[in-house]
Amino acid sequence: MNIATRLTEIKKILPDNVVLVAVSKTKPVQDLMAAYNAGQRIFGENKIQEMTDKFEEMPKDIQWHMIGHVQRNKVKYMAPFVALVHGVDSLKLLQEINKQAEKNNRIISVLLQVFIADEETKFGFDKNEISEIFNSDFKNDYKNVKIEGLMGMATFTDKQEQIKEEFTTLKNLYDQFATANDLTVLSMGMSGDYKIAIDCGSTMVRIGSSIFGSR
């Protein structure tokens, strides 16, 4: 199957309220254009340099999502155009995004990344830190960012029950703060686990290899 066909097959499965981020990291522009020509307009990258290069080369109606771990000293390169930063995992990073957004006269949309996995390697806030942020005066402290919701990655495992538990934990946390803080995005689910994520209440899935092939 080619990229356009795989994309179409996935879109058929997704409920109407679930947004698809096509994760195109490491893939050449030509592959992204195949998805673009099949109607895809939201692409996810995990390296700022690569996303910026692709942004410059590709049509301007694309929404670029930064899904990876962000180095603070590189925020300035994506600040003029990034549509959504999924992986905000520290207040220092939030501060830097706010600063660069202000310089660009923009309000940058972000998601707070929550650590839900049973692994050492995944970034994110814990539940208590998320509570602290939403109970703080963050709208005043970070006037040029808009916290749109939460993002999380489940443990890389084939234990379906564990993945379900982790996504449910994230969904419950989201529900606790969504209404009061006007949150609309719960980003969870990748190629291997997006069906479980959707069952658990995901509103945004980040799918790479199932569209573009393995990396």
Ligand X SMILES: *Cc1c(COP(=O)(O)O)cnc(C)c1O
Among 124, 149, 152, 208, binds ligand X (CB under 6 A): 208
For the bound state, the minimum distance from the C-beta of residue 211 to ligand X, rounded and expressed in Å, comes to 8
Closest by CA to 43, choosing from 102, 5, 83, is 83
Residues 125-164 as b/e (b if ≥16 CB within 10 A, e otherwise) read: beeebbeebbeeebeeebebbebbbbbbbbeeeeeeeebb
- Number of helices followed by number of strands (H, E) in the chain: 10, 8
Query: Among residues 171 and 206, whose Cβ is nearest to ligand X?
Result: 206
110 lines the binding site for ligand X (CB under 6 A) = no
186 lines the binding site for ligand X (CB under 6 A) = no
**Alpha-carbon gap, residue 18 to 11, rounded angstroms:** 9
Query: Among residues 138 and 186, whose Cβ is nearest to ligand X?
Result: 186
Please check whether residue 10 is in contact with residue 20, taking contact to mean a CB–CB distance below 8 angstroms: yes
Among 19, 51, 62, 67, binds ligand X (CB under 6 A): 67
Please check whether residue 142 is in contact with residue 94, taking contact to mean a CB–CB distance below 8 angstroms: yes
Closest by CA to 103, choosing from 140, 76, 135, 68, is 76
For the bound state, the minimum distance from the C-beta of residue 169 to ligand X, rounded and expressed in Å, comes to 18
68 lines the binding site for ligand X (CB under 6 A) = yes
Angle 29-37/3-13 helices, nearest 10 degrees?
50
Residues between 119 and 158 with contacts to ligand X, criterion CB under 6 A: 153
Query: Among residues 138 and 188, whose Cβ is nearest to ligand X?
Result: 188
Q: Torsions phi, psi of 188, nearest 5?
A: -155, 140
**Alpha-carbon gap, residue 207 to 23, rounded angstroms:** 5
Choose the binding region for ligand X from 76-84, 121-129, 164-172, 202-210 (rule: CB under 6 A): 202-210
Among 18, 20, 23, 79, binds ligand X (CB under 6 A): 23
For the bound state, the minimum distance from the C-beta of residue 141 to ligand X, rounded and expressed in Å, comes to 26
Query: Among residues 138 and 148, whose Cβ is nearest to ligand X?
Result: 148
Please check whether residue 72 is in contact with residue 97, taking contact to mean a CB–CB distance below 8 angstroms: no
190 lines the binding site for ligand X (CB under 6 A) = yes
Query: Among residues 51 and 138, whose Cβ is nearest to ligand X?
Result: 51
With CB atoms as reference, the residue minimizing the distance to ligand X is 208
Q: Which residues bind ligand X (CB under 6 A)?
A: 23, 25, 46, 67-68, 153, 190-192, 206-210
